Amino acid sequence: MAEGRDVQWIEVTEGQDGQRVDNFLMTRIKGAPRALIYRIVRKGEVRVNKKRVKPDTRLATGDLVRIPPLKLSPREAVREVSDNLRNLLAGSVLVEGRDWLVINKPSGLAVHGGSGVKIGLIEALRQVREDLDFLELVHRLDRDTSGCLLLAKSRPALLALNTSLKQQQMDKRYLALVAGRWPARRDFVAARLDRYTLANGERRVRVDAEGKVARTRFAVHEAFPKVSLLEAEPVTGRTHQIRVHAAHAGHPLLGDDKYGTRESQQLAARLGLSRLFLHAESLAFPEPTSGREVRIRAPLPDDLESVLTRAREAL
């Protein structure tokens, strides 16, 4: 049967070698939600070398991928990037290498869409950077966390950076403002963490002896009478690790609506803090091709600098 005029056959490039079919399609079909991608793959509308595939099928250089014509309804389409978000992201690139880039992620922007989020940073960047055939997150940041976020622009770079992450060759440092005076003698918090889900579907994390091993290094960066500015270095990379470990130590992060206390909420209000005080200040990693160390810093956002100024004057 002859193919329709709008059917595309895309050849997989060397930089896309090893990429999953679903991620390949997310990059090629602008505005398509992941649920739709899964549906057209499951129905056999997507073919690789004329054969049916699964969403997690890995592609190889030279493969021909059949992409059917799609008309997305407004309800199911990923929201288009607004001019404000486009300009914000364009101005948020801290450093860009040949096959990677580091974004200074704004607070309040989820790293990916889903669970009621129509568009996340990765979907928005794929629309903004139409020159890239490949763009994937190397790691994640919580929605309310700002700062250094690393992305890969090729499959080999993604694999190399993921290996560096797993082998703890990646150095990530955060600034966190916590309630109370953090004891200078406490350098590490080592407490196993377990993920669970509330009745409303919200994901949370708690300290649990049966949970996964988790360790965070803390150092006092600046001390105030009622709050402490800490440098936090997650040795492991568990969800909400810094936030839960700080709360477990009796010093929850200011602005934390999940793990905070009444005292921490009152302190946040007193300082005019309207969001989580957690900022990924620096990131260091081996460059995927050369192996040389890349070290990048993201300046503290103005709103958090203002909170520190008020803390120095009022507390």
- Just list the catalytic residues: 142
Residue 169 phi/psi, 5° resolution? -95, 5
Measured between alpha carbons, how far is 273 from 280 in angstroms, rounded to an integer?
A: 17
Q: State which amino acid sits at residue 138.
A: V
Q: Give yes or no for a contact between 300 and 282, defined as CB atoms under 8 angstroms apart.
A: no
Here the contacts of 292-298 (C-beta below 8 Å, separation 24 or greater) are 294/95, 294/97, 295/171, 296/94, 296/95, 296/102, 296/148, 297/94, 297/148, 298/94, 298/104, 298/146, 298/147, 298/148
Q: Which residues make Cβ contacts (< 8 Å) with residue 7, sequence separation at least 6?
A: 66, 67, 68, 69
Distance CA 44, CA 34 (A): 16
CA-wise closest residue to 246 among 169, 301, 313, 191: 191
What are the structure tokens assigned to 312, written together?
């120095």
In one-letter notation, the amino acid at residue 309 is: T
Question: CB 314: neighbour CB atoms within 10 A?
Answer: 12
- The closest of 221, 234, 314 to 280, measured between CA atoms, is 234
CA-nearest of 204, 177, 180 to 273 is 177
Distance of CA 302 to the CA centre of its chain: 21
Contact call for residues 127 and 81 (beta carbons, < 8 A): yes
| Beta strand ranges found along 42-85 (DSSP E) | 47-48, 51-52, 64-67
